[in-house]
Amino acid sequence: MFILGNFLLALAKLIYLVSNAYIWIVIARAVISWVNADPYNPIVRFLIQATDPVLHKIRRWLPPMGGLDLSPMLLIIAIIFLQSFLVPTLQHLGMMFSPETVRF
C-alpha cells in the first residue's frame, strides 16, 4: 500500500505545482491585458491560448462590470480554493497509506 501512498503524495505535489504555475500564467495574462501587447508575440499568444478557454467560461456567468474584468480574480480564487481542499486531502490519504513519509 505504500506505493499508493507515495503516488497520492506525488500527485498532490504535482497538482500544487501546476496550479501555482497556472496562477502566475493568469496573472501575466491580466497584466498584458492592461498594456497594448503585440498579439503576434509568441509569449502573448501562449498566455491567451492557455487562459482564454477557462476565462471565457467564467465571463459567460459573470456580467461585465463597467469595463472591469473580474474573471481572472475569480479564477485565481477558485484555484486557491481547490489547492486548499484537494492538495491536503490527497496528502492526508497518501499519509494514511504511507505513514513513514514526510509531508511537504
Evaluate if residue 104 carries a pLDDT over 60: no
Torsional sign, CA 42, 44, 50, 53: negative
- Distance CA(10)–CA(79), nearest Å, equals 19
Burial of 100 per CB tally in 10 Å (0-12, 13-18, 19+): exposed
pLDDT tens string 49-78: 999 999 999 999 988 788 888 999 999 999
CA geometry: angle 23, 24, 30, nearest 5 deg? 90
The reported pTM is 0.86
Domain assignments of the chain as residue spans, ordered by start: 2-97
Tell me which of 98 and 83 has the higher pLDDT. Answer: 83
C-alpha distance from residue 78 to each of 14, 22, 55, 82, 95 (Å):
17, 12, 12, 6, 25
Evaluate if residue 5 carries a pLDDT over 70: yes
For residue 58, give the amino acid letter: I
Banded pLDDT at 101 (limits 50, 70, 90): low
